Amino acid sequence: MKITLDIVGTPKGDAAIITLTNSRGASVVLSSIGAGIMEINVPDRNGAVADVVLGYKNIADYLYDGPTMGKTPGRYANRICHGRFSLDGKDYSLPVNCGPHHLHGGPEGFQNRLWKYDIGSDCVTFTLCSPDGDSGYPGEVVAEVTYRWSDDNTLTIDYRASATAPTPLNMTNHAYWNLDGEGSGSAMGHVLQVEASAYVETDETLAPTGTLREVKGTPMDFTEAKVVGRDIKEPFDALVHGKGYDHCYAFDAYDGKGTLFKGAELYSPVSGRRLVVKTTYPGMQLYTANWLTGGTPEGRHGADYKDYEAVALECQMFPDSPNHPSFPSAILRPGERYHHVIVYELDVV
């Protein structure tokens, strides 16, 4: 494994850009801004290499960007409704930054921090200390995100954390996938299968109602592989409210015991590239990049990214879990160890 390090200046200080290149010449480019993915360069069925995740031309644009491009949101990825939750009899208030809700840890979330980094033989570990009271969250949290790149083009992300007081915690990766290459246009022709027979129902503000709704018989059904954009314009409330897919799917195989299982598969008939997603998390936010037009920084090679040019597959805890006792618990307590895994397997078929 060849690993190179570049240091670049940003408005928040020097950031590390770390490139891991395997024996086949495929590479992953990581950044200490938000412990994020900047590039994943892999071949198509004809051997032509392209970057299959969206990213920005200017490094400074990764700070405070609306899409949270490729980064690690936190403390709580996704929404906490109205920025409020109660824990052990105490009420907490968080900054509201997405309509009436708290999203991705708020405006100063993990995605907008410079993480410390440590380079191994085939991996990079990013570490962040989030102090007690950070954005309203209780307890100090020490979070670690380790990326490991293999010779068979598999990227494994290992999430670990500890806390000094009970606190909600939910980390994920927010990569935007286009398996034809970033800047190539719409990804709505990709084919997707999700191993989930239910999704988290939401209201018109995308706030979870607390109910898991069956996908069968609805446009939300990806239990059998289908073209991502086939039903996206259907007059179905969830799709209308989100302007496309922006909902958390509840994986059938989740057992709460840390078991790694296949959650989703994305395929491009054009390039032949396939992405298999495995995880230990209970859910996955499927987001079809519904809000890129007009407000997204310039793409890595000059592209003006538009809505629906990517698919985000964000494995995570359910949104707003602290306010729904029936959901898998997202509370980390002192003495416990937060540990979840996301695996991205890339190949061609």
Q: Any idea which residues carry the catalytic annotation?
A: 174, 314
Instruction: Give CA separation, 252 vs 165, 196, 223, 237, 248, in Å.
Output: 31, 5, 10, 23, 13
| Tokens 């395929």, located at residue | 267
Give the pair of three-digit tokens for residue 259.
């078991």
User: What is d(CA 221, CA 219) in angstroms, rounded to the nearest whole number?
Assistant: 5
Hunting for tokens 């102090």 — which residue is that? Answer: 131
- Structure tokens, 248: 């958390």
Residues in the chain: 349
How far apart (Å, rounded) are the C-alpha atoms in residues 227 and 178?
A: 14
CA distance 290 to 238: 13
C-alpha count within 13 angstroms, C-beta hemisphere, residue 9: 1
* Contact present, 228 and 190 (Cβ < 8 Å): yes
Backbone angles phi, psi at 251, to 5 degrees: -65, 135
Which phi and psi (to 5°) does residue 141 adopt? Answer: -120, 130
For 91, the token pair is 């009420």
In which element (H, E) is residue 237 found?
helix 237-242
CA-CA-CA-CA torsion for 64, 68, 74, 78, nearest 10 degrees?
Answer: 120
For residue 136, give the amino acid letter: G
Rg of the Cα atoms in the chain: 19
User: Could you write out the DSSP letters of every residue in 275-320?
Assistant: EEEEESSSEEEEE--TT-TTTSPPBTTS----TTS-BEEEEESPTT
CA distance 173 to 68: 9
